[in-house]
Amino acid sequence: MSKTQTQDQPDPSFPKRTVVVITVSDKGAEGLREDHSGQVVTDRLRAEGYDIKFRVLVPDDKAAIVGALNRCSDQEKVALAVTTGGTGVSPRDVTPEATLEVVQRLVPGMAEAMRAASLAKTPHAMLSRGVVGIRNATLIVNLPGSPAGAMENLEVILPAIPHALAKIQGDPSDCGR
């Protein structure tokens, strides 16, 4: 927030509906696998009226993920950065660790809601380590790497994202109904 801006004014440098979709996949980054998860997430967000600035593929490498997330928030100033992949328990799954390194505040309820909804479909949901947090005025969401898992999780939090973005960007209105 600039010194001339009051706390009640939304930050104009963060358009409400801009998104970057980051697919975390060694094979995808090497061009050995098509990015189906990133595509379904992009298509769904676009259908909801979000402006997809771009998609990017990065390897399962903590520094690469941190760099992509920092770029989304610090340079691109997007409202929402969505990752897909790297949230499981395999040794190369480091998306949550990278996300935790860059976020300033956690939004645990969103991650908990995704896991709870997924658990109703598969016991493997217990292995998901995805997190949700905020860096500057960017909401960062970790989704699973499979297209089905990414979509299931996105659908759970999609109704709450507009309100979250408005509040993150400084909407002063009351939250109560």
What pLDDT digit, counting tens, does each position of 120-135 carry? Answer: 999 999 999 999 999 9
pLDDT band of residue 177 (cuts 50, 70, 90) is low
pLDDT mean over 97-117: 99
Q: In this predicted structure, what is the pLDDT of residue 173? A: 84
pLDDT mean over 69-98: 98
pLDDT digits (tens, 9 = 90+) for 50-67: 999 999 999 999 999 999
pLDDT surpasses 80 at 10: no
Q: In this predicted structure, what is the pLDDT of residue 176? A: 72
pLDDT surpasses 70 at 98: yes
pLDDT digits (tens, 9 = 90+) for 150-167: 999 999 999 999 999 999
Q: Which domains are seen in the chain, by residue range? A: 18-168 (3.40.980.10)
pLDDT > 90 fraction of the chain, expressed in percent and rounded: 86
More confident residue, 83 or 2: 83
More confident residue, 41 or 14: 41
Q: What does 31-47 look like in DSSP terms, one character per residue?
A: TSS--HHHHHHHHHHHH
pLDDT surpasses 60 at 111: yes
Q: How many CA atoms lie within 13 A of 71 on its CB side?
A: 15
- Tokens 């998860």 locate to 37
pLDDT band of residue 12 (cuts 50, 70, 90) is low
Q: In this predicted structure, what is the pLDDT of residue 172? A: 86
Contacts of 45-53 spanning 24+ positions with Cβ under 8 A: 45/19, 45/21, 45/80, 45/82, 45/154, 48/158, 49/17, 50/17, 50/18, 50/19, 50/80, 51/15, 51/17, 51/18, 51/19, 52/19, 52/20, 52/21, 53/18, 53/19, 53/20, 53/78
